[in-house]
Amino acid sequence: MPQGLQTYDYLVFVMYFMLIASYGVWIYQRKKVATVNTQDFFLAEGQLTWWAIGASLIASNISAEQFIGMSGNGFRLGLAISAYEWLAAISLVVVGIFFMPVYLKNKIYTMPQFLKTRYNETVAMMMAIFWLFLYIFVNLTSILFLGAIAINNLTGGTHFHLIMIGLAVFALFITLGGMKVIGYTDVIQVIVLTVGGLITSYIALTVVGEKFGFGKNAIDGLNHLIKVAPDHFKMIFDKPGVGATQKQIDDYSSLPGLAMMAAGMWIANLNYWGCNQYITQRALGADLKTARSGIFFAAILKLFMPLLVVVPGIAAYVLYNNGELQQQMLTNGVLTQDNAYSSVIGFLPVGLKGLSMAALTAAIVASLAGKANSISTIYSLDIYKKYVNKDASDTKTVATGRLMIVISLIIAIVINWNDTLGIGGKGGFEFIQKYTGYISPAIFPVFLLGFFWKKTTSKAAIWGILLGLALAILFDKFLPSMLGNETILYTALPNGHGGFEIPYLIQMGWVFLFTCIIMVVISLIDVKGQTHANSLQEDTTKYKLTNAHVAMIVIILIVVAGLYIRFW
């Protein structure tokens, strides 16, 4: 049976903490200008190499959302949840080729700045407010909650609030040094979380092999997982028919088969990787070649992420169904999918459990730090500097950004103290995806049409944002009761609680489509608005790729195609 953390585990963890802290201080002291220069503090302009950009992208993305939330979905759904990771790799290719040249050519440092340059100040202000609320009340809050739950389970289950405060303080320490400290400490953190994650997956598969008489062989353990849980190695779920179980309905609602591939999954990924201050910020201070190399490097790393975060969840599912992890998977006596990863870590030898906890903490802290820095950047540069104190010096602006970091982390702690948002009841990964999905189908058309259709007007962008959000609420909360559960647009499925819901990835597709139509129609009617000066500069060479970039793209596409062919 899994054992708790021992003294050596805590020693390994403390050594990790000291290593990261010391390295962060060293980076901070080397470039102390980061304390007073806004471009350097928020963007580390021109000083992140391609490998630092790629590592920082992954370290900031792979957080409690993946290690805890996605492992939990691996427990419930299986390999199909890997669609978020593997299609993210292709989405990063799209972002590197088509989006990044526009940002860099126009010296875009924040997403609201892009919207001001392309549209007007009103659009930028609206989106800045939207993003701040989304980042603080959905992303930052849920990452902190899931991270505290995981570490709490590993350390005995009695110190949730203390651990949550500790994670916030650790992230605060990293974040206050600015983007450069975040970027370069992320390089160490992505190494630690990758090594720790691989070790955890290896041990989990070995345990499966041992429990079923295959010996200490991880490959045989993986083959046994595929054999005894074939339903957990399907990438595409069939639409549930008459007589389907509630589990089959719930699985399809989370990942609605081919329907999600038509739009919803791509909207979620392209918006996240291409129109998200938290992510794009890592590359916005580099030149185009360096930025693209970093983004494509991150895309290659994404291909391996399911091995780190999904396979342990599937292993936990098989072990649980065969009498193991009966107590570890429970929270207050209830089976909780988000306990899967921390339960599997318990099988690791003494010392390695500490390393895996360090890897988990690395993922949580990196994501918290990156999210807090993005909140700080948007508030400081797009709200405070423009509307509160237009004459603020760099020193004052950076100080304000640091204060915003502290405030946002305090808000997250207060919300999570008694799980006000109910994150624990929804499953962390799905909670984030669903409520981000309220915003992304309204945001992404504004960016997409802004990039590629010059006639898109500011009035169309404003109405697109407002009506897109209204449509998202309509589809999620009201449409089944208004139009019925079966229409030409959707099938609303029973949610197991007496109601009917449209799968959120299908909702996103329709909201995106209708928002695009609304924006196109308004733009065509708004002839006067079409005369508004679009300040974006064009670069005729922006889509030209180096041979190395082409090779990276080909590798990514071949691997994704091969994985889908194997596990369709």
Residues in the chain: 568
Strand duo 500-501 + 334-335: pairing = unpaired
Cβ-in-10-Å burial (0-12, 13-18, 19+) of 393 comes to exposed
| Residue 497: both structure tokens together | 């609680």
| Residue 43: both structure tokens together | 């963007």
Q: What pLDDT does 100 receive?
A: 87
**Weakest-pLDDT range from 162-171, 273-282, 558-567:** 273-282
Q: What pLDDT does 33 receive?
A: 47
User: Would you tell me the crossing angle of helices 264-274 and 440-452 to the nearest 10 degrees?
Assistant: 70
More confident position, 265 or 346? 265
Q: What pLDDT does 214 receive?
A: 64
Amino acid identity, position 352:
L
The yes-or-no verdict on residue 168 having pLDDT over 50 is yes
The yes-or-no verdict on residue 186 having pLDDT over 70 is no
Q: What pLDDT does 560 receive?
A: 94
Only one residue has tokens 């709200």, namely: 383
At residue 342, the 3 state secondary structure works out as helix
Longest dimension (CA), the chain: 74
The per-residue pLDDT of the chain, averaged, comes to 82
More confident position, 155 or 558? 558
At residue 48, the 3 state secondary structure works out as coil
HSE value, Cβ hemisphere, 13 Å, CA-based, for 431: 26
Rounded CA separation 501/471 (Å): 15
More confident position, 562 or 153? 562
Rounded CA separation 47/40 (Å): 9
The yes-or-no verdict on residue 410 having pLDDT over 90 is yes
For 215-246, the pLDDT digits (tens) are 667 888 888 888 888 989 999 998 888 888 88
The yes-or-no verdict on residue 42 having pLDDT over 70 is no
Domain ranges of the chain: 7-20+34-436, 437-536
For 245-300, the pLDDT digits (tens) are 888 898 898 889 888 888 889 998 999 888 876 677 667 767 888 889 999 999 99
More confident position, 111 or 409? 409
Name the fold adopted by 7-20+34-436: Sodium/glucose cotransporter (1.20.1730)
For 119-148, the pLDDT digits (tens) are 988 898 888 888 888 889 888 898 888 888
| DSSP symbol at 538 | P
| CA-closest candidate to residue 194, choices 59, 370, 300 | 59
The yes-or-no verdict on residue 390 having pLDDT over 70 is yes
The yes-or-no verdict on residue 4 having pLDDT over 80 is no
| DSSP symbol at 7 | H
What percentage of the chain has pLDDT greater than the value 90? 25
The yes-or-no verdict on residue 533 having pLDDT over 70 is no
Q: What pLDDT does 520 receive?
A: 96
Q: What pLDDT does 35 receive?
A: 46
Q: Are 364 and 95 in contact (CB under 8 A)?
A: no
pTM over 0.85: no
For 208-217, the pLDDT digits (tens) are 888 776 666 7
| Residue 174: both structure tokens together | 């990293």
The yes-or-no verdict on residue 36 having pLDDT over 60 is no
The yes-or-no verdict on residue 15 having pLDDT over 80 is yes
